[in-house]
């Protein structure tokens, strides 16, 4: 009985431990894709490399010639070798900005089978084949390194491997490696020394281009969200470099997004394309890390970053609504150069403004999630027919992940008119101003709508001596003008709704 109970207790304990372990391990795993070899191997080609400038080291072929991490084979029947009197010329063009490192290793052996010494040397060449440095490889295992420091994509290095004398021969390996600019300045391979790209909206395009992941490596970048909402990060490799498993050439990279504490919040998953992508929900002001990585043995590729704010898109047209019906008719023209305002958060303050183009079109892109207000700056002598008083002369829209695009937030505007005239003292009460009848200044003229409600007022001002009113921008005697008057019927007081004028 005791033994049975002991077994029962031990069984329960093991199950509880397994349950706790399972719970502790319930965090995000990425399904790591299968990987190709670390380094892109190439074969020494005879006799193509017997004369200057020699064999070009191709890494991205055929669209690009360059180096990220390439090496001659160091085993098998195709190993690079110098036989008696042989010279092997090479040239390599940088694929990315940064350093280009070249290492040549003496592997020994006796390719000519003549028992001669294994002494080799490397001569570094200039653009026309002149020698700038001679580096000895006297013993098996000797390595000489050289290259370009702080170079740019397109810079070239040229060199020749040869025997130290006409009878010396040996096998050798050449390895060429680009190191990206971040690795040159301290290596951004951890969160603590991540490359700080700054706020998402202010990242310069040049800061997203020309990185590499090499032997083995991972690159960390730090960004700060300046809006709430989804952000997508893409790692874009050269066309065709997202090779299928088992084929030659560079391979895919991996992409992870981490929060400020380092927790995984998004991953690209396993892909075999030229673009790896990961999306996440960002919080305004929060810091995030982008991790571009290789497999456990490392991967080699050049890449660019893309960081895309999945913000809203608000757009519309502005038109002259001659009919005043709030609809853009075929004979109604766009209104050009008018100011449209965006109030982020609908808090009563204008945050962004734009103007309508030749088609009356305006647009706000990258608008953060939330509720916002779109208004116009109304110009003199116009009234608004769309969205109009029923919508409080504004659009209030909510941008959400499911409602990112708001189009046809249109504004219709009715061109206004003016009512003007002259007030005079009619001494003979005949209804006409006769010579000698003076103008009356300082009188208030009231405009009423068809229902008898006052809608505007004006005060008579000075006239020119000949009795003609001056333009409205000037001072005119005894002239009353009611500007920005909407189309419709208006009555003079006490007229039993008889229109004084029709507009």
What residue ranges define each of the domains in the chain, with the CATH number in brackets?
A: 40-179 (2.60.120.380), 183-309 (2.60.120.380), 312-415 (2.60.40.10), 418-502 (no CATH)
Question: Exposed e or buried b for every residue in 255-271, given b needs 16+ CB within 10 A?
Answer: bbbbeeeeeeebbbeeb
CA separation for the pair 155, 143 (Å, rounded) = 23
The torsion region of residue 386 among left (phi > 0), alpha (psi -120 to 50) and beta comes to beta
Count the Cβ atoms, other than its own, within 10 Å of residue 377.
11
Model pLDDT, residue 51: 93
Closest CA to 105 of 94, 114, 118: 118
pTM above 0.85, yes or no: no
Task: Chunk the chain into consecutive blocks of 10 residues (it has 503) and report each block's average pLDDT, rounded to whole numbers.
Answer: 40 45 39 43 85 80 59 83 92 80 92 88 95 94 91 88 92 84 70 92 88 73 88 80 44 83 86 80 93 63 84 93 93 96 94 96 89 94 92 93 90 82 87 88 85 85 48 37 42 37 35
Q: Measured between alpha carbons, how far is 266 from 468 in angstroms, rounded to an integer?
A: 76
Using CA atoms, how far apart are residues 449 and 501, in angstroms rounded to an integer? 11
Tokens representing 118 are 């294994």
pLDDT score for 460: 83
Q: Where are the beta strands (DSSP E) in 7-77?
A: 40-42, 55-56, 69-72
Cβ-Cβ contacts under 8 Å for 430 (sequence gap 6 or more): none
Closest of 381, 396, 374, 392 to residue 335, by C-alpha:
381
Q: Is the dihedral of CA 346, 365, 273, 69 positive or negative?
A: negative
Which pLDDT value is given to residue 252? 61
């Amino acid at each position: 009985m005791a033994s049975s109970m002991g077994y029962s207790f031990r069984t329960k304990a093991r199950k509880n431990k397994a349950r706790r372990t399972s719970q502790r391990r319930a965090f995000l795993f990425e399904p790591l894709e299968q990987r190709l070899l670390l380094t892109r191997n190439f074969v020494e080609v005879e006799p193509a490399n017997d004369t200057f400038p020699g064999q070009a080291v191709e890494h991205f072929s055929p669209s690009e010639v360059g180096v990220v991490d390439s090496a001659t084979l160091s085993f098998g029947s195709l190993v690079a070798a110098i036989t008696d009197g042989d010279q092997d010329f090479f040239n390599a063009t940088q694929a990315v900005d940064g350093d280009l490192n070249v290492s040549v290793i003496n592997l020994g052996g006796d390719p000519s089978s003549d028992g001669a010494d294994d002494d080799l040397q490397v001569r570094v060449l200039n653009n026309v084949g002149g020698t700038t440095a001679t580096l000895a490889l006297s013993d098996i295992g000797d390595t000489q390194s050289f290259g370009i420091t702080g170079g740019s994509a397109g810079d070239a290095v040229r060199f020749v491997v040869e025997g130290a004398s006409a009878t010396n021969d040996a096998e050798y390996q050449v390895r060429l490696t680009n190191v990206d600019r971040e690795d040159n300045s301290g290596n951004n391979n951890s969160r603590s020394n991540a490359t700080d790209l700054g706020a998402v909206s202010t990242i310069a395009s040049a800061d997203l281009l020309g990185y590499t992941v090499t032997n083995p490596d991972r690159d960390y970048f730090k960004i700060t969200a300046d809006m709430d909402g989804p952000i997508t990060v893409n790692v874009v490799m050269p066309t065709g470099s997202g090779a299928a498993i088992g084929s030659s050439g560079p391979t895919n990279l991996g992409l992870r997004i981490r929060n400020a504490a380092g927790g995984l919040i998004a991953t690209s998953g396993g892909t075999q394309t030229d673009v790896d992508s990961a999306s996440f929900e960002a919080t305004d002001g929060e810091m995030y890390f982008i991790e571009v990585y290789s497999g456990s043995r490392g991967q080699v590729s050049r890449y660019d970053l893309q960081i895309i704010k999945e913000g809203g898109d608000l757009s519309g047209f502005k038109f002259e609504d001659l009919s005043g019906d709030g609809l853009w008719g075929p004979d109604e023209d766009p209104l050009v150069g008018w100011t449209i305002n965006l109030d982020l958060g609908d808090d009563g303050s204008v945050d962004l403004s734009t103007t309508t183009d030749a088609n009356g079109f305006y647009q706000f892109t990258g608008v953060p999630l939330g509720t916002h207000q779109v208004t116009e700056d109304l110009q003199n002598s116009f009234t608004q027919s769309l969205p109009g008083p029923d919508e409080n002369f504004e659009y209030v829209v909510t941008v959400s992940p499911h409602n990112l695009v708001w189009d046809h937030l249109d504004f219709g505007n009715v061109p206004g008119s003016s009512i003007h005239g002259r007030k005079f003292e009619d001494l003979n009460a005949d209804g006409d101003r006769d010579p000698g009848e003076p103008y009356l200044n300082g009188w208030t003229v009231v405009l009423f709508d068809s229902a008898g409600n006052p809608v505007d007022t004006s005060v008579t001002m000075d006239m020119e001596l000949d009795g003609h009113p001056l333009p409205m921008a000037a001072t005119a005697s005894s002239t009353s003008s009611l500007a920005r008057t909407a189309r419709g019927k208006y009555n003079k007081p006490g007229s039993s709704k008889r229109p004084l004028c029709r507009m």
